[in-house]
Amino acid sequence: MPSPSTIRQFINCILIICLVISCSGMSSIAQSQAQTAGSDWSSFRGNPQSTGFAEGETGDALTLSWTFKLDDGGFESSAAIVATKDTATGMQQKTVYIAGLTNDVRGKLFALNLADGSKLWEFESEDGFLTTPVVDGGKLYLGDMAGKFFCIDANGKKQWVYETEIEINSSANIYKDLVLFGSQDGALYALDKTSGEFKWKHATDDQIQCSVTVAKNRAFLAGCDSMLHVIDLETGKEAGHVKLSSPTISTPAARGQTVYFGNENGTFYSVDAAKLKTKWTVEDERGGNSIRSSAAVTDDHVVVGARNRKLYSFDPDTGAENWATTLKNKVDSSPVIIKNRVVAASTDGRLYLLDLESGKLLWQKQFNGSITGSPAFAHRFVVIATDDGTVHALRFSKPKTEHRTPNAISHDRIYKN
C-alpha cells in the first residue's frame, strides 16, 4: 500500500495537471473572444467600451475598393461591419450596415455586401437616421429623427419599434438583455432587446447626443447638461456624476476605470469613473474650439480630433502630448486606431492615414462632400461615408511589419466588485 506522502504527491500532481488544463482552456477562450471581438465592428465605436481600436494588417496607404451611391440624400452616421453565417447555405456573409437620410428627410438603412458594395436590402422609415446601428445576435438596433427606435432583423424586416416622440441622435449599446440609447428628451432608455418592452429610463437635465458607452455594469453619458453621468445598469440609477466646464456631445471612451472625452469649450477630460474625479484635462490653447470628435484609446495613446483642425495624441495616464498634427479642416469625425495606424477625417471630405507613434501623415485622399461620420474598420476594410450620399470602402496597401503594436487594452480592470 502506498505511503501517505506518496498519495499526497500523486494528488498534488493531479491538481497541477487539472489547473494547467483549465488555464489553457481559459486562455484559448480568451483568445477566441478577443479574435471575435476584433473581427467585427458592431457599433459606433467598434465595441461596448467605445475605444475606437481594432487589430489588423496595416500599411502606408489606403486603396479604394468600391463605392455605393445614394440616388438622393446623404450619410452623417458611421457603419457597422459584421460577419454572419447564412443558415441555409452555411456560407459566411460579411455585411456593411449604414443608415442615412434622403433629401426629403426620410430614413434609409442599407445592408451592403462588404466584398463589392452591392446592395443586399434597404429599410425605410418616415424620418432620417443620424445614428449608427448596433448589431447583436443577428438584430440591428437604431433610432431615427422622429424619435422611433427600431429593431430590425438581418433580412431587413422590422421586429419591433418603440416611440419616444423626440429625436434620437444617440447610437445604441447592449448590456445583457437590454438595448440602451439616449434621447433629445435627456433620458437614457433601457428596453428589452428581444421584445422592445420598456424596462427603465434615467432622466438628465438636458439633451443626450453622445452614444452610450458600457463597461462592466456601468454606462457613461457625456451630456448637454455639462455632466458626465455614470449609470448603474442593474438598477437604472445614477451611481454619480462629474461636473464639466461646458456641454458635450462626444462619446466617452473607456479604458480600465478611466473615461476620456472632450467638450464644447475645447477641454479634453480624463476622468476616474470609479472615484468620480477628474484625473487630468487639456485645454485648447486658443480657446473656444469645440471637441465633438470621440477619442480612440490604447494603453499608450488617446487620439482625438478638434475643431481647431488638429488631431492629438495624449498619454492616457498623464495627459502629456505625444504629438499634434494639423489637418486641412475641422475634425468632427472620430478617429480610429488600427494597430499602428490612425485613420481620421476632416469636414472638408478628406480622409487621412497617420503613423500612431509619431503622428506623421502617411496618406490622404479628397472625397466629394463633407465627412462628419466616423471610419469603421473590420475584415480588412475601412468604410467611410460622406454627406453627398457615397459610401467608400478602402483597403490597406504596402503592409509593414516593423512598427510596434500598442498594448491591447484590458477591459476587465473596471469596477472590481
Report pTM. 0.86
Closest CA to 267 of 254, 240, 241, 286: 286
Q: Answer whether 199's CB lies under 8 Å from 185's CB.
A: no
The more confidently predicted of residues 132 and 16 is 132
- Separation CA 33–CA 15 (nearest Å): 27
Q: In this model, does residue 31 exceed pLDDT 80?
A: no
Query: What's the rounded mean pLDDT across residues 143-154?
Result: 95
Which helix (H) or strand (E) segment holds residue 16: the answer is helix 4-39
Tell me the pLDDT tens digit for each residue of 349-382: 999 999 999 999 999 999 999 998 999 999 999 9
Q: Answer whether 98's CB lies under 8 Å from 79's CB.
A: yes
Quick one: pLDDT at residue 4?
Answer: 44
Tell me the pLDDT tens digit for each residue of 150-199: 999 999 999 999 999 799 999 999 999 999 999 999 999 999 999 999 99
Domains defined along the chain, listed by start: 42-398 (2.130.10.10)
Predicted confidence band of residue 105 (pLDDT cuts 50, 70, 90):
confident
Q: Answer whether 179's CB lies under 8 Å from 198's CB.
A: no
Joined grid coordinates for residue 3: 505511503
The more confidently predicted of residues 225 and 89 is 225
Query: What's the rounded mean pLDDT across residues 29-46?
Result: 60
Closest CA to 289 of 272, 265, 323: 265
Q: Answer whether 381's CB lies under 8 Å from 54's CB.
A: no
Quick one: pLDDT at residue 195?
Answer: 98
Q: In this model, does residue 37 exceed pLDDT 50?
A: no
Q: Given CA atoms 74, 249, 56, 330 in this order, what sign does their dihedral have? A: positive
Q: In this model, does residue 110 exceed pLDDT 60?
A: yes
The more confidently predicted of residues 34 and 276 is 276
Quick one: pLDDT at residue 287?
Answer: 62
Tell me the pLDDT tens digit for each residue of 59-92: 999 999 999 999 889 999 999 999 987 666 778 8
Tell me the pLDDT tens digit for each residue of 242-298: 999 899 999 999 999 999 999 999 999 999 999 999 999 998 776 668 999 999 999
In sequence order, which residues have a C-beta less than 8 Å from that of residue 191 and are 6 or more positions away?
149, 162, 178, 179, 197, 198, 199
Quick one: pLDDT at residue 398?
Answer: 73
The more confidently predicted of residues 5 and 231 is 231
Tell me the pLDDT tens digit for each residue of 376-417: 999 999 999 999 999 999 999 874 544 444 554 433 333 322
